[in-house]
Amino acid sequence: MTEQKKVGHAQHLKAVNNPIRKEMLKRVNAVNQILEVDLLNGLKKDDILNDENTFQYHASFLTQALCMEKVETEGEVYYKILPGGKVVENF
Residue 89 is assigned to a structural domain of this protein: no
Place 89 in a pLDDT band, splitting at 50, 70 and 90. low
Q: Are 71 and 34 in contact (CB under 8 A)?
A: no
Residue 90 is assigned to a structural domain of this protein: no
Average pLDDT, rounded, for the chain = 87
Domain CATH number, residue 29: 1.10.10.10
From 19-23, 54-58, 72-76, 82-86, the region with the lowest mean pLDDT: 82-86
Number of domains in the chain: 1
* Backbone phi and psi for residue 74, each to the nearest 5 degrees, phi listed first: 45, 45
What's the residue count for the chain?
91
pLDDT at residue 90, as a whole number: 57
Name which residue leads in pLDDT, 17 or 42: 42
Please give the model's pTM, rounded to 2 decimal places.
0.85
Burial of 20 (0-12, 13-18, 19+ CB in 10 A): middle
Residue 23 is assigned to a structural domain of this protein: yes
Q: Are 64 and 11 in contact (CB under 8 A)?
A: yes
What is the span of the domain harbouring residue 27? Answer: 3-83
